Amino acid sequence: MSLLSVENLSFSIDGTKLLKNITFSLEKGSLTLVAGKNGSGKSMLLKCLKGLEKPDEGIIKVNGKVLKREKERMKAFGLVFQDTSLEIVGSTVRKDIAFGLENLRMERDIIQEKTNRMVSLFALEKIQDLPPSVLSGGEKRRLSIAGVLAMEPEIILMDEPLANLDYPSVKMVLSTLVQLKEKGVTVIIVSHEAEKLLSLTDNTIILSEGRLVDMGRSKDMMGALRDNEVYLPPKAVFEDLTWLK
Amino acid sequence: MAQINPFASLVMLISASIASSLLSGYETVAVLLLVLIVPFFFNVNILKVMWSMKVMLITALLIFLFSYFGKGSLLSSISESAKFLSVIGLSALYIKKSDLIDLATTMGSILSPLLGKRGRKASSAVMMTLALFPIIFSTATEMMNARKSRGGSFLYHPIKSITEYTVSMMRLLFQKVVIFQDALYSRSWTTGGERTKVVLGKRDWVLMILAFILLIGFVLWKKVF
């Protein structure tokens, strides 16, 4: 059984349809890339899944259960935003990881335990008491992911996780994605930068003008990505499409 | 110095404010001199700190001038200025030494028994406002630099320039606020929602008891002497 099943998801603003009958399903533990040109509806898809926007129609199921209410989608999905400066709120790394857990009104000792686990998992020990303002781009991104993962969502959504990062920071984030995959975490990534992470992903979904135009195993989607004006280096081999090497 | 529990900071702030309001003119000047001299023993560059507080210093100077020309007493005017600086300084310390999120959570805990959900909503509003200050400053600076780099100047047609700048900045800020709000909601934060309470540590209890004892002692001393 699929972990996530989306059926006929549609969303419009002021009569303009931004998502049109999106249907797909994903297995547990998969890493999926959502690609497409600007304005194709990628970020809006993440917002609808997360519950930040209410779709006009469609069914979202996680583990076979239909998520009708916004609260259910908020709990099932974790969303890592593109702009970390607007997402990180804690005065220290530890406090930021604990922020979401405090919102869930967990007991203090459970918050402490989960925060310690995230600090250890993402190797944040040396910087855990530092203010987020002094962190590098890659460290901030890892902190954002840690803060979301601490809340134990079923699926993690990431909006342009590699945007505005230098090469070392990109490698740091890609290593984190590999780590998440090894832990069996289901991740959906929206990114323009297919050439940096395609070979790490299991599946690729291509959106165009709000429609899902193609979907398949990532290794079979190179031609479709190029046809939909998503950049891939010419003559590139699938295994080379990662900056982690 | 590590962060202090906001409730403990609030108790100390209230105690210091009450004590400050009971000081006579000479006592205020003595405290002010202490505030200026003591930092030298801790290698704190008091002039640098004062320069960073220049807006408050200008306001204190205005209070002094209005008081002096109104009442004609130099000591009384200095005392009023000093009291203003001490309350504002302590409030700034309260905000600086307390975690922003803990501050809002504690405020909500204090206000909610009195005002119910409205109390927590008020504290959420305070938290959002404080969290947005760095975003506002960085956005404003970014826009100003972008305009300067294209030859823009507020001195040329100042009203038009400032109006355009303000409108553009507000529009950009609203977009950032929406993203910020989405980021908070996506981590289960809700306006007026309850959160895990902030715990008072041993040091916080010691500081509160000390502040209370000093306040009572000071009030008694004033009554006796």
Amino acid at B199: V
- Residues B130 and B59: their CA atoms lie apart, in Å, by 22
Q: Is pLDDT larger for residue B113 or for residue B44?
A: B113
pLDDT exceeds cutoff 80 at B20: no
A109 in contact with B at a CB cutoff of 8 Å? no
- Count the helix, strand and coil residues of chain A and give each as a percent rounded to the nearest 5: 40, 25, 35
Cross-chain Cβ contact A148/B187 below 8 Å: yes
A83 in contact with B at a CB cutoff of 8 Å? yes
CA A60, A65, A69, A70 dihedral sign is: negative
Per-residue pLDDT, averaged over A147-153, amounts to 94
Provide the residue count of chain B: 225
Instruction: Give B-chain residues touching A103 at CB under 8 angstroms.
Output: 187-190, 193, 195
Q: Is B181 helix (H, G, I), strand (E, B) or coil?
A: helix
pLDDT exceeds cutoff 80 at B46: no
| Residue A157 banded pLDDT, cuts 50, 70, 90 | very high
| Residue A62 banded pLDDT, cuts 50, 70, 90 | very high
- Residues A197 and A122: their CA atoms lie apart, in Å, by 19
The per-residue pLDDT for range A81-107, each reduced to its tens digit, is 998 888 888 889 999 999 999 999 999
A165 in contact with B at a CB cutoff of 8 Å? no
Instruction: Give B-chain residues touching A108 at CB under 8 angstroms.
Output: 196, 199
Strand partners, A19: A11
Nearest CA in chain A to B132: A86
- Residues A11 and A207: their CA atoms lie apart, in Å, by 14
The per-residue pLDDT for range A5-44, each reduced to its tens digit, is 999 999 999 999 999 999 999 999 999 999 999 999 999 9
Residue B13 pLDDT:
77
Residue A117 pLDDT:
94
> How close is the nearest chain A Cα to the Cα of B174, in Å?
13
Q: Are A207 and A34 in contact (CB under 8 A)?
A: yes
Residue B1 pLDDT:
45
> How close is the nearest chain A Cα to the Cα of B180, in Å?
5
Phi, psi of A234 (to 5 degrees): -60, 145
Tell me how many degrees the CA angle A145-A146-A150 measures, rounded to the nearest 5.
Answer: 120
Mutate to test the interface with A, among B186, B190, B195, B197 (most CBs of A within 10 A): B186
Cross-chain Cβ contact A47/B179 below 8 Å: no
- Mean pLDDT lowest for which of A111-120, A158-167, B16-25? B16-25
Residue A215: its H or E element: strand A211-217
- Residues A227 and A35: their CA atoms lie apart, in Å, by 12
- Residues A32 and A190: their CA atoms lie apart, in Å, by 9
The residues, any chain, with a CB within 8 Å of residue B164's CB and separated by 6 or more, are none
A243 in contact with B at a CB cutoff of 8 Å? no
Structure-block tokens of residue B104: 């809002």
Name the nearest CA neighbour of A84 among A147, A176, A31. Answer: A147
Per-residue pLDDT, averaged over A201-211, amounts to 96
Looking at residue A69, the DSSP 8-state letter turns out to be S
Task: Closest CB to B188: pick one of A95, A100, A111.
Answer: A100
> What number is the ipTM of this complex?
0.84
